[in-house]
Structure 1
């Protein structure tokens, strides 16, 4: 776990993870400046994740603070570096591809100031497909784990209190599932999460998301979060499989009077109890919430 950060000054740190965003980063920085100039003390931190184009040069010329990684380390890794470098308590994360409406930054901050620990932009628009079967399944699994509805679990446009997130950075993914893991962990820890609707635009440049690779990594981090923060939910799901088999065997035995099914029924039932018991033990050692 990270050490508790020093008390940050009141202001806004805008963190932009960037990998080969030369075509869009300039307009994003200019839009942010238009929104924040004269309103809040602020800084713009561009975390250059091993770009091979002029992303860092463009951002530096526009006054952004550059944090450079010599090789590509991942979206989440870049955000972690940005949070550690941030000067102010209110941290905004956004992308450098012009998909997010920077004019909504003040709306995020306004809601954050009402007592929320994180405020997330709910993406709307033709450029976002929230009805894909895989995304819906993943969303429902996450909601089952945390026990709450999540309007948008993957949005990368957020306002977060730095003092809340820095101590938890070690638990978050280094990849694209950083957004997912931050939402789930904040929810499981009982932090307040608010939402505002935003328009999600067409990106400038190529997407860095790789469906198979990032789906596998997301599944891995999801399992890790469940095991560490809410293991009983995982073991309930696992115990349902042998429990269903037990019910089938028991029902068949009752109706057929086939005594050969009695022993397998007992074995499967014992296996169900074993899995559930392991879950109870794991729940004792879960991370403090």
Structure 2
């Protein structure tokens, strides 16, 4: 049995259409719409279309909705998708095919032209490259919210997931870190209906933090070590220059060398903390 979890906030215009399309493709699927404190009739629209409704008394965030839906889901496989019409229910079958092939997490990777804006596309490209470097595996779409997971394994990481919009990043890196199998399937995401809940200024700063979260969720040393080496080499180079010219060891050399050492130690400590995060609970 599969469960489809759909976080929704003020999506009354589209959520019933999405639920109906899913039921046409998978009549036996459990469809859970998490109404995240909407101030329109999102919950009523989804319920009338045949979905099970979980109501948040106030907006808690996309990640919190994902966690509420995952806890309530009874299926062996959970599909996560948006309520705004971006994700085509017809693509669910492609994700499930890969789950049947033995993968633990299958992500719908948005193809060129599917990004909401040029800036968003560039940011996601940066995230993907960083995640590829950190994991050693090609990451095609780190932030896609359209994904299929084995429920038992996904629920292992609920305590790690943030309440905001970066749950896809956290869950993907957690699966890689745990050694689970991850697969990407190409999809085309349509333009969303209605107004996006992402605010460019506020959420732009938050998305920058994703870069550091990627590192801390996987292997902090892979990020801190190159930075530490750079400072250390700069310190040695400056010391060589000042020793040759002035025959002295300057404060700048001490600062650069100390910074390199401190960065390495921060990475080492972060690595140990990350290891404890993934210790079996």
Judge same fold: TM > 0.5, yes or no: yes
- Alpha-carbon RMSD across the aligned residues, in angstroms, is 2.3
Q: CA deviation at 1:285?
A: 4.0
* TM-score scaled by length of structure 2: 0.88
Q: CA deviation at 1:17?
A: 0.3
Q: CA deviation at 1:208?
A: 1.0
Q: CA deviation at 1:130?
A: 6.9
Determine if contact 2:5/2:34 at 8 Å carries over to the other structure. yes
- TM-superposition CA deviations, 1:114-161 (whole Å, max 9, x none): 110011111125341577443333332232322322101111111111
How far apart, CA to CA, are the structure 2 residues paired with 1:29 and 1:208?
20
Match of 1:189 among 178, 188, 207: 178
Answering whether residue 202 of structure 2 is matched by residue 213 of structure 1, we say yes
Match of 1:20 among 5, 10, 14: 10
- TM-superposition CA deviations, 1:192-244 (whole Å, max 9, x none): 01111112112111111122322333444553553354221232144144224
Answering whether residue 68 of structure 2 is matched by residue 81 of structure 1, we say yes
2:44 aligns to what? Answer: 57
1:156 aligns to what? Answer: 145
Q: CA deviation at 1:271?
A: 3.8
Answering whether residue 85 of structure 2 is matched by residue 95 of structure 1, we say no
Match of 1:273 among 251, 261, 279: 261
* TM-score scaled by length of structure 1: 0.86
Determine if contact 1:228/1:287 at 8 Å carries over to the other structure. no
How far apart, CA to CA, are the structure 1 residues paired with 2:23 and 2:143?
25
Map of 1:26-45 to 2, 5 A cutoff? 26-37=16-27, 41-45=28-32
How many corresponding residue pairs?
A: 275
Answering whether residue 169 of structure 2 is matched by residue 180 of structure 1, we say yes
How far apart, CA to CA, are the structure 2 residues paired with 1:225 and 1:200?
24
Q: Secondary structure of 2:274's partner? A: coil
> 1 or 2 for the larger relative contact order (CA 8 Å, sep ≥6)?
1
* 189 and 286 in structure 1: CA distance in 2 versus 1, 3 angstrom threshold: same
Q: Which runs of 5+ in 1 are unaligned?
A: 1-10
Determine if contact 1:98/1:204 at 8 Å carries over to the other structure. yes
How far apart, CA to CA, are the structure 2 residues paired with 1:224 and 1:123?
22
